[in-house]
């Protein structure tokens, strides 16, 4: 093989390899391929507004990913969300966005300029909120439709045209500018006359008001100071109540539990009250039927009580006499000689018990 032919083949091969490399580069750049590490999230919209796969994704205007797919789901309700899904956009974000994308992030579809290609703009959310994880589903903010904007603009222009027609004396209720201006001038003239007529009274009123304000300036300042302090105290009280009660969930739960308990008690107490009412009715019937006997028994008890009191008085008198040594029993307990005789008698019976029957 000649050297010239070898050089030509090498050049052709290099050209083919360069063309293949350029083709691969175009596919990587224009396609949905990315060699960067990242993670996917999903955004649901009601209207895609012309968004296509491969559209850029920006966080606060900085390129941070691309749109992987735009799928129409037709209002199907996702088990993971509480809203119907019409359009679900799969967004592939760079790894650098993992730490800045928060759970309350917002997604909108916007364009670069009036006629630019649509792309996804992200507001990363509050840094105090938790970071969004891979696969999180967000509810996007639907872009305004151009047709709706044109329709609103058309209505606004129609309203302005109607106002201009009325100003120009056309239409059902024309507006006469000259009459309106004359009325304003007449009103201003009338006010000026009234002010001139009552100038002295107005000056006197203003002077009195100024004097009152000057005399009570300290009091007015104290009133504002006390009002400000009271407002601060109420704010502190509100904060304390929020800390103690929270959003009211515990209180509502406690009231609901108490209401449920009282309902159960009411259900349980109804039969008891019926039985108690029945028992009271029976007792009342028994008392009514036996009232005469009960009255007689009470009278007898009263008589017995009287006799018992009398007997107790007699016993008390007897005991008093015994203690005083009156009567036989009293002397028996009080006279020591009788006591010694009885003790000697008992001793004799112990020694000679047969003496009770016969004497020696």
| Mean confidence (pLDDT) of the chain | 75
Please report which confidence band the pLDDT of residue 15 belongs to, taking 50, 70 and 90 as the band edges.
confident
Judge whether residue 181 has pLDDT over 90.
no
Q: pLDDT at position 23, please?
A: 84
Query: How confident is the model over 67-94, as a mean pLDDT?
Result: 91
Query: How confident is the model over 69-89, as a mean pLDDT?
Result: 90
| Nearest partner of 342 among 354, 333, 330, 355, judged by Cα | 333
Q: What is the pTM (predicted TM-score) of this model?
A: 0.39
Q: pLDDT at position 330, please?
A: 63
- Which position has the token pair 């209401």? 259
Q: Strands 106-111 and 118-123: what pairing?
A: antiparallel
Between CA 352 and CA 360 the distance in angstroms is 11
Q: pLDDT at position 120, please?
A: 95
Query: How confident is the model over 123-140, as a mean pLDDT?
Result: 93
Q: Which two tokens stand for residue 47?
A: 């209207």
Weakest mean pLDDT among 61-75, 204-218, 241-255, 342-356:
241-255
Judge whether residue 65 has pLDDT over 90.
yes
Considering only residues 153 and 274, tell me which one the structure prediction assigns the higher pLDDT: 153
Considering only residues 105 and 313, tell me which one the structure prediction assigns the higher pLDDT: 105
Nearest 5°: the CA angle 64, 68, 70 is 120
Please report which confidence band the pLDDT of residue 207 belongs to, taking 50, 70 and 90 as the band edges.
confident
Domain positions in the chain are: 1-30, 35-143, 178-210
Judge whether residue 139 has pLDDT over 90.
yes
Please report which confidence band the pLDDT of residue 290 belongs to, taking 50, 70 and 90 as the band edges.
low
Judge whether residue 3 has pLDDT over 70.
no
Judge whether residue 355 has pLDDT over 60.
no
Query: How confident is the model over 306-320, as a mean pLDDT?
Result: 64
Judge whether residue 20 has pLDDT over 60.
yes
């Amino acid at each position: 093989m000649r050297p010239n032919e070898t050089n030509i083949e090498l050049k052709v091969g290099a050209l083919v390899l360069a063309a293949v490399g350029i083709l691969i580069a175009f596919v990587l750049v224009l396609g949905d391929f990315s060699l960067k590490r990242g993670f996917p999230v999903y955004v649901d919209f009601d209207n895609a507004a012309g968004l296509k796969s491969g559209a850029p994704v920006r966080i606060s205007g900085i390129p941070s990913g691309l749109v992987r797919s735009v799928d129409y789901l037709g209002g199907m309700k996702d088990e993971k969300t509480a809203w119907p899904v019409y359009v679900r956009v799969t967004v592939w974000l760079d790894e650098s966005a993992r730490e800045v994308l928060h759970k309350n992030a917002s997604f909108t579809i916007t364009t670069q300029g009036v006629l630019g290609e649509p792309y996804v703009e992200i507001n990363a959310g509050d840094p105090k909120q938790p970071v969004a994880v891979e696969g999180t589903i967000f509810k996007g903010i639907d872009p305004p439709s151009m047709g709706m904007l044109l329709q609103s603009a058309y209505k606004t222009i129609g309203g302005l045209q109607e106002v201009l027609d009325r100003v120009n004396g056309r239409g059902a209720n024309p507006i006469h500018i000259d009459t309106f201006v004359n009325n304003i001038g007449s009103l201003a003239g009338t006010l000026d006359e009234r002010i001139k007529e009552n100038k002295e009274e107005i000056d006197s009123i203003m002077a009195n008001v100024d004097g009152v304000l000057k005399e009570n300036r300290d009091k007015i300042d104290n009133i504002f100071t006390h009002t400000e302090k009271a407002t601060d105290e109420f704010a502190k009280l509100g904060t304390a109540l929020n800390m103690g009660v929270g959003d009211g969930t515990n209180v509502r739960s406690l009231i609901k539990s108490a209401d449920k308990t009282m309902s159960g008690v009411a259900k349980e107490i109804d039969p008891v009250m019926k039985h108690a009412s029945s028992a009271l009715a029976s007792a009342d019937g028994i008392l009514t039927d036996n009232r005469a006997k009960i009255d007689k028994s009470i009278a007898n008890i009263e008589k017995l009580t009287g006799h018992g009191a009398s007997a107790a008085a007699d016993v008390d008198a007897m005991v008093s006499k015994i203690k005083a040594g009156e009567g036989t029993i009293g002397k028996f307990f009080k006279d020591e000689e009788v006591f010694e005789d009885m003790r000697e008698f008992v001793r004799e019976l112990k020694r000679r018990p047969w003496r009770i029957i016969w004497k020696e």
